[in-house]
Amino acid sequence: MRRSVALLLGLLSTATMAATDPRTVPTKLDPAWQAKTRELFKQAIEIPTVHHRGEMPRMAKLLGDQFRAAGIPEADIHVMPYEALPGDKTVALIVRWRSPKATKKPMLVLGHMDVVEAKREDWKFDPFVFREENGYFLGRGTSDMKNGDVATTMAAVKLMSQGFKPNRDIIFFYSGDEETNGRGATLGASEWRNLTEAEFGLNADGGCGSYDREFRPLGCGISTAEKTFQTYFFTAHNPGGHSSRPRPDNAIYDLTDALKALQAHRFTPMLNETTRGYFTKRAKQEGNNALGQAMRRWLANPNDGQAADEIEANPLEVGLTRTRCVATMLQAGHADNALPQTAQATVNCRIFPGVQPKDVQAELQQLAGPKVAVTPDPNYIGLPTPPSPLRPDVLKAVTQAIQAIHGPQMEVTPVMSTGASDGSFFRAKGIPIYDVDGSWGISPDDERAHGLDERLPVRAMYDDVVHWEMIFKSLAG
Amino acid sequence: MRLFAFALLVSAATPLAAAANPVTQPSKLPADWQAKSKALFKAAIEIPTVAGRGEHKRAAEWLAEQYRAHGWAPTDIQIHPHKGDKGEDAFTFFARWPAAKPSGKKPILIIAHMDVVEAKRADWVLDPFKFIEKDGYFYGRGTSDDKQGVIGTSAALFKLRADGFKPNRDILVYYTSDEETEGNGARLGAGELRQLLDAEYALNADAGGGAFRADGGALGFGIQTAEKIYQDFKWTATNRGGHSSRPRPDHAIYDLTEALNRLSQHRFKPAMTETSKAYFTARAGQEGTSALGNAMRAWVANPADDQAADAIENSELETGTTRTRCVATMLEGGHAPNALPQKAEANINCRALPGTTLAGLQAELEAIAGPKIKVVADGAFKPSPPSPLRADVLNAYTRSVRSLYGDATPIIPHMSTGATDGLFFRQVGIPVYGVEASWGISPDDERAHGLDERIPARAFYDNIVHWQNLIRDLAGK
């Protein structure tokens, strides 16, 4: 559930310098480690870790073997089996890189090994065959988030090979069901807490940097607040019958009426401290254009719904002004030649922090009407989470790493994440989590997480290893 | 897939004067032939010819034995193997009664099917594959669909032969064993066996039939002369998808939803056929001066009166009789609850008026669906020319039914909204007439495909008399 990389924090109105294509800038990772990184990335992508495919143990072994080969003792490598969705037997991997002389409490590094379903017929290429093409790596998981798994693992292995000794334990936690119901993170934050207890955590599931199509840096957002993830089902029932004699009422049409209402619906706009800071900065960047003016109007008067609507309608700001709910799946009927007895849509909501999922359900039920029942997904009940106070050491470490790779124009700013990730389960249980991965892309062309022909610039993969090296050195050295 | 005429006829506003309970009236079939045909019916019902149970061969061989025992030469009997449902072995049965006094007329073909729809012991009050006679009824799976047709036509031929009847044209019999599933037996008959089965027309014992009210009023008897065309279409919307935390304005599910909302509002142009003109003329007589009766008269008087056609179509008794109907029956969309859908697809099931072309139907659906939806026909298009209302067949049917049930019995030509084996023969130029005269009490006995299927014993016996009447009339004069 990776947040999109486009955060548009750069110097749009002032960035007039001729920009270089960031994909063509040489990486700072040396060629020997490029080869190792590429090989691990290829192997990781080619394990189709979609739910219910039973591939997670293979993936956990692949990552565990890297740590093992670098000298982490067997006793500190834990493969934790658990059941995610009903019948989905999966595993989490927990690795502890011990400090010989710890002076600080441990630090957690979060990632997930599973990927969203990708159907061969929908893609141009086989999503589970790793490809390199025109400066990109392609395949399911290249941006969400086997890149983060590979970058954090390779950075640790590289530092170990150089003899780096952390001054705090670094705990790597890779879950096996982040994309489905987050059971691994729930267990990691509770039952397995003796293995994961940490002062704070860094989540590699959420890159922060991006460039626009003119190659201007758009900035890097570190999420300190996140929307609550909750899926609802819209369900219509009907007695059905023989399709040669259609009835006036039809479960599919009842559902499509409700979806039409959902499509047109807009939730009430809201502001919080994080987004107020974000829009204040953005308004300055946008200057006097229409978007900048709308942002200023809204900041001056949070009840100016029209201004908020204008902001929300901008593709770069989607989801930042309010709760959003969107239909993601459909299922109806039981035979081609029978009237449907059931029609169901999956509606995925990203709920503004502070709003209760129950209230969203009531609002959805209101617009769906009496013929369609709205119920929450029993497999995943969203937990509203408190914002994590931003730590100066984390902000400093991330800013240094980001600017070492992208230059000072790439600003780092606290933001609200519209997605939810494993981080929310740890936040809810008292471990502050910051999404600080160093991967990046061209916005919006490379925003393909969960979508078709997912990809990542080759340089972004390699530089991410360098990024995590710098962060480990800064926060544990 | 037998659609009894019952459902079409229950609304009769002016049924005939109440008479005695039709179930308890004596049959016109002589007692010795009642005993013989009951034994045949029992044997047939107790072979569970459900798809997948491997009983089709036994059923065909049993039929062959009966035909040989009743005077058919072994060389006039054939069993043709083919693949049926899910590749199982299926068998069609063929028998020829060569003309004893050839008149030069082409043969008459009689069709019916031996297979039955699944029936589970646990769901029924009685064992569905044990022949039971109780309170004037025969019970068992297939007693009304369509073993009464197979045994009714066979017993009629056996008795005619025993009585010394000399047909003036060949009488061909062709019974299939996968009508309820694939229809491959009928395809074989209309294809590879076209020369063997070459006939002037076919009489279908799987269509037609009558209905009585419990108080004895005859609701009428239907002769089926046309079948609507069955055709599925896939409607597909595609999109590049993306992350559900950032909904896009363009969206595969909403594109499909909008198209389906248009489909739910769309009404195809009404069209009157020769059959529907005769049907609504007869039905208008039954309906009297009710609103429905008036609408029927208005439409018959002026086939351009679409408003009248709409009023007819809106009656649940007449759904599908005035025009092509297409209805959404299945939906599928999306690939993950937290991803914007890349694909959304609906199955649209159409029952098109005879004479409809694939190109015409496709173009109309494309216009409804709009440019964002791809419309693809699913499965081969099977055109269905209506069979011309032949005076000889209609008269023979009318005379026979009225000789059994009185001169005032309504005779109603009609078009099936469903499909039978007859469709395949119509396609290759052999007109088909559904001329069964078995009947039941409406709606109590409408149990084809359902639970505790049954037929009044008298209806079974009288149907044998009826088929003798038809054959004497059409092959003896």
CA A110 to chain B, closest CA, distance in angstroms equals 20
The one-letter amino acid code at B243 reads H
Q: How crowded is residue A54: how many other Cβ atoms within 10 Å of its Cβ?
A: 12
Among B169, B185, B236, B4, smallest CA distance to B80 is for B185
Partners of residue A244 in chain B, C-beta under 8 Å: 3, 228, 320, 325, 351, 417-418
Following DSSP, what letter does each residue of A398-420 receive, concatenated? Answer: HHHHHHHHH-TTS-EEEEEESS-
Q: What's the pLDDT score for residue A18?
A: 55
Specify the pairing of strand B137-139 against strand B454-456: antiparallel
Our measurement of the distance from residue B225's CA atom to the centroid of its chain's CA atoms, rounded to an integer in Å, reads 10
Q: Establish, for the pair of chains A and B, how many residue pairs have beta carbons separated by less than 8 Å.
A: 196
**Could you report the per-residue pLDDT of A370-427, keeping only the tens digit for each?**
999 999 999 888 878 777 777 889 989 999 999 999 999 888 888 888 877 788 889 8
**Could you report the per-residue pLDDT of B177-189, keeping only the tens digit for each?**
999 888 999 999 9
Partners of residue B232 in chain A, C-beta under 8 Å: 336-337
Among B313, B469, B287, smallest CA distance to B395 is for B469
DSSP three-state, residue A288: coil
Q: How crowded is residue B264: how many other Cβ atoms within 10 Å of its Cβ?
A: 18
pLDDT at A455 over 50: yes
pLDDT at B235 over 70: yes
**Could you report the per-residue pLDDT of B269-325, keeping only the tens digit for each?**
999 988 999 999 988 988 899 999 999 999 999 999 999 999 999 998 899 999 999
Per-residue tokens: A334: 């039981």
**Could you report the per-residue pLDDT of A127-144, keeping only the tens digit for each?**
999 999 999 999 999 999
Q: List the single best residue of A322, A450, A452, A455 to mutate versus B (max B Cβ within 10 A).
A: A450
Q: What's the pLDDT score for residue A390?
A: 77
The one-letter amino acid code at A241 reads G
Specify the pairing of strand B171-176 against strand B108-113: parallel
Decide if B335 and A319 are in contact by the 8 Å CB cutoff.
no
Per the rule left: phi > 0, alpha: psi between -120 and 50, beta: everything else, A80 is beta
Q: What are phi and psi of A358, to 5 degrees?
A: -60, -40
Specify the pairing of strand A241-242 against strand A338-339: antiparallel
Q: What's the pLDDT score for residue B2?
A: 43
Q: How far apart are the first and last CA of chain A?
A: 31
d(CA A149, CA A147): 6
**Could you report the per-residue pLDDT of B238-271, keeping only the tens digit for each?**
999 988 998 999 999 999 999 999 999 999 999 9
A358 contacts A383 by C-beta, under 8 angstroms: no
pLDDT at A470 over 70: yes
Percent of chain A with pLDDT over 90: 72
Of B244, B256, B349, which is closest to A326 when you measure between CB atoms? B244
Q: CB of B242 within 8 Å of any CB in chain A? A: yes
Enumerate residues 6+ apart whose C-beta is below 8 A from B65: none
Instruction: Write the ipTM.
Output: 0.78
B328 contacts A438 by C-beta, under 8 angstroms: no
pLDDT at B12 over 50: no
d(CA A348, CA A357): 12
**Could you report the per-residue pLDDT of B376-408, keeping only the tens digit for each?**
999 888 888 888 889 999 999 999 999 999 998
Q: What's the pLDDT score for residue B255?
A: 98
Q: How crowded is residue A30: how many other Cβ atoms within 10 Å of its Cβ?
A: 11
pLDDT-derived band at A17, boundaries 50, 70, 90 = low
**Could you report the per-residue pLDDT of B331-363, keeping only the tens digit for each?**
999 999 999 999 999 999 999 999 899 999 999
Average pLDDT of every residue of chain A:
91
Per-residue tokens: A120: 């061969």
A112 contacts A59 by C-beta, under 8 angstroms: no
Q: How crowded is residue A362: how many other Cβ atoms within 10 Å of its Cβ?
A: 11
DSSP three-state, residue B383: coil
Q: What's the pLDDT score for residue A207?
A: 67
pLDDT at A4 over 80: no
Residues 208-237 of B with CB under 8 A from A: 228, 230, 232
CA B111 to chain A, closest CA, distance in angstroms equals 23
Residues 361-380 of B with CB under 8 A from A: 378
Question: How large is the average pLDDT for residues A88-95?
Answer: 97
Decide if B335 and A116 are in contact by the 8 Å CB cutoff.
yes
A319 contacts A227 by C-beta, under 8 angstroms: yes
Give the ranges where B56-199 is alpha helix by DSSP (H): 56-69, 147-162, 184-190
Per-residue tokens: B281: 């003329």
| Least reliable range by pLDDT among A83-87, A171-175, B158-162 | A83-87
Following DSSP, what letter does each residue of A98-153 receive, concatenated? Answer: --TT--S--EEEEEE-------TTTSSS-TTS-EEETTEEESTTTTTTHHHHHHHH
Partners of residue B328 in chain A, C-beta under 8 Å: 250, 252-253, 332-333, 340
Residues 282-341 of B with CB under 8 A from A: 314, 316, 319-320, 325, 327-341
Q: What are phi and psi of A6, to 5 degrees?
A: -80, 115
pLDDT at A118 over 90: yes
pLDDT at A11 over 70: no
Following DSSP, what letter does each residue of A228-282 receive, concatenated? Answer: EEEEEEEEEE---EETTS--S--HHHHHHHHHHHHHH--PPP---HHHHHHHHHH
Percent of chain A with pLDDT over 70: 95
pLDDT at A104 over 70: yes
Decide if A4 and B246 are in contact by the 8 Å CB cutoff.
yes
**Could you report the per-residue pLDDT of B430-442, keeping only the tens digit for each?**
999 999 999 998 7
CA B4 to chain A, closest CA, distance in angstroms equals 14
Specify the pairing of strand B325-333 against strand B343-352: antiparallel
Specify the pairing of strand A433-442 against strand A200-211: parallel
Distances (CA, A) of A43 to A37, A59, A139, A155, A272: 10, 9, 11, 17, 42
**Could you report the per-residue pLDDT of B412-428, keeping only the tens digit for each?**
999 988 778 998 999 89
Per-residue tokens: A284: 């300055």
Partners of residue B261 in chain A, C-beta under 8 Å: 253, 256-257, 260
Of A260, A334, A418, which is closest to B245 when you measure between CB atoms? A418
B264: closest chain A residue by CA: A253
pLDDT-derived band at B166, boundaries 50, 70, 90 = very high
d(CA B150, CA B136): 21
d(CA B159, CA B164): 9
pLDDT at A10 over 50: no
Q: How crowded is residue A117: how many other Cβ atoms within 10 Å of its Cβ?
A: 19
Q: How crowded is residue B123: how many other Cβ atoms within 10 Å of its Cβ?
A: 11
B341 contacts A122 by C-beta, under 8 angstroms: no
Q: What's the pLDDT score for residue B219?
A: 84
Per-residue tokens: A129: 């065959």
Residues B410, B415, B420, B422, CA torsion sign: positive
pLDDT at B7 over 50: no
B7: closest chain A residue by CA: A245
pLDDT at A14 over 50: no
Q: What's the pLDDT score for residue A1?
A: 37
d(CA A9, CA A350): 22
